[in-house]
């Protein structure tokens, strides 16, 4: 089933066959209708109240706009995020190295026994 085309569905013996069948059904349906994009302007009083999908380009731009005039703080915050990510990555790398050393010493002990 395609969520945007809720009346459209297809089946198949395998997942691949079902996907192929629903693709064919969608193409057949879409060949009979006109597909177009429209833009709708919100009234000015609703634009500031508009709920944006988290992570959408508009939401990211709106959030970034809150730092206008405070670029230095934003850059410092980003650097803190990068530093924390580096610290976490180094910690994981140390844990992996330690696990590999333990595994190597266990292998050596087993061969010696």
What's the pLDDT tens digit per position in 8-22? Answer: 888 889 999 988 998
Instruction: Say how far apart CA 53 and CA 56 lie, in whole Å.
Output: 6
| 17-51 as b/e: b if 16+ CB within 10 A | eeeeebeeeeeeeeeeeeeeeeeeeeeeeeeeeee
Instruction: Say how far apart CA 94 and CA 48 lie, in whole Å.
Output: 48
Q: How far is CA 46 from CA 9, 33, 42, 51, in A?
A: 37, 32, 6, 10
Domain ranges of the chain: 1-35, 69-113
Instruction: Say how far apart CA 107 and CA 105 lie, in whole Å.
Output: 5
Whole-model pTM? 0.37
What's the pLDDT tens digit per position in 34-70? Answer: 888 888 777 666 555 567 777 787 788 777 777 778 8
């Amino acid at each position: 089933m395609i969520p945007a085309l809720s009346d459209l569905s297809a089946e198949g013996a395998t997942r691949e066959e079902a996907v192929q069948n629903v693709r064919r059904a969608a193409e057949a349906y879409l060949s009979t209708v006109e597909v177009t994009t429209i833009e709708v302007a919100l009234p000015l009083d609703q634009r500031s109240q508009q709920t944006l999908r988290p992570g959408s380009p508009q939401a990211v731009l709106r959030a970034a706009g809150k730092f206008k005039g405070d670029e230095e703080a934003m850059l410092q915050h980003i650097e803190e995020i990068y530093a924390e990510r580096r610290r976490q990555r180094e910690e994981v790398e140390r844990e992996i190295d330690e696990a590999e050393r333990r595994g190597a010493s266990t292998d050596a002990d087993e061969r010696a026994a």
